[in-house]
Amino acid sequence: MKYVVRSRGDHESNVISQKIKNYLQEFQLIESKEAPDIVISVGGDGTLLEAFHQYNHRLDEMSFVGVHTGHLGFYADWQPDEVEKLVIHIAKTPFKVVEYPLLEVIIRHYGEKKSERYLALNECSVKSTEGSIVMDIEIRGELFETFRGDGLCISTPSGSTAYNKALGGAILHPSLASIQLAEMASINNRVYRTVGSPLVLPQHHTCLLRPIKEADFQVTIDHLTLLQQDVKSIQCRVAEEKVRFARFRPFPFWKRVKESFVTG
Ligand code: NAD
């Protein structure tokens, strides 16, 4: 079993990361930054998002687990005082793996520039660099509506508790292979009209965003912000790939939702 420990970089996360590495070395486990079987992220959900993007080229060969040094995270659900227990689990037991769906985003451009493909663990958001965005939204090849407003957010089920939730989107169980499209402040008048509710699309239902007029867009993929020019379309659907999380104990999703948003 090869491992890598990724710290957020603050003092507490670095201390915990070193502690985990020392324990794992005692168990004769091998550290490998290039080809780990397990990635242990120490920090918060943002640290795990960064780790996901660092290793998203070998998702079917590895699993992630997160330790939180701040508040309880959705991806970072182990506490610092539990790391000894966590290391024993990693070293001694064949662990269970749960797989969560991801979002595939393909951005196509006018002109010479080729298309770009991204995978998101949480979401892709599309905003204008200036004013509102105006986009045709196609679902399964059919025009659904023309959107004008601040922006659009397309999230994964596990990302539904992040930005999507702040936009009034529904919380989806991560076992549902789906994506959710949520509006950011749509303009509704005699010219522009949108459905006004978040939409949940199943696997293989592609959502295509087509800008009506040439503009620059600010596209974010999780924590990464990209300036996109000459955009012809942004295609979103459930990805073929999945992300794997190592599970050493039950921590039901709805319990995590409750502890994060209701009782927490
Ligand atoms: P960050 O690490 O500070 O994360 C921002 C907050 O989002 C943290 O509290 C984190 O715990 C939480 N978060 C991340 N993923 C989550 C998930 N799947 N479920 C519930 N909470 C989650 O900042 P960052 O590294 O830039 O994180 C990027 C994420 O921030 C984006 O993926 C987006 O979901 C989120 N975000 C949220 C808002 C909002 O709620 N208004 C706005 C922009 C971005």
The residues spanned by each domain of the chain are 2-95+248-261, 102-240
Pairing of strands 38-43, 2-7: parallel
CA 213 – CA 35 distance, rounded (Å): 44
Could you tell me if the CB of 123 is within 6 A of ligand 1? yes
Choose the catalytic residue: 10, 37, 45, 230: 45
Out of 3.40.50.10330, 3.40.430.10, 1.10.10.60, 3.20.20.60, the CATH code matching 2-95+248-261 is 3.40.50.10330
- Please indicate whether residue 158, judged by its CB atom, sits closer than 6 Å to ligand 1: yes
CA of 191 to the centre of ligand 1 (A): 34
203-259 pLDDT per residue, tens? 999 999 999 987 799 999 999 999 999 999 999 999 999 999 999 988 899 999 999
Per-residue confidence (pLDDT) for residue 112, from 0 to 100: 78
Q: Find the 111 Cα to ligand 1 centroid distance in Å.
A: 34
User: What pLDDT, in 10s, does the model give residues 175-197?
Assistant: 999 999 999 999 999 989 999 99
Alpha helices in the chain (DSSP H): 11-26, 45-54, 83-92, 163-166, 253-257
Q: Is the CB of 77 under 6 A from ligand 1?
A: no
**CA-closest candidate to residue 249, choices 36, 88, 23, 14:** 88
Rounded mean pLDDT of the chain? 95
Q: Is the pTM of this model over 0.85?
A: yes
Fold classified for 102-240: Tumour Suppressor Smad4 (2.60.200)
- DSSP run (H or E) holding 73: none
Q: Could you confirm whether 45 is annotated as catalytic?
A: yes
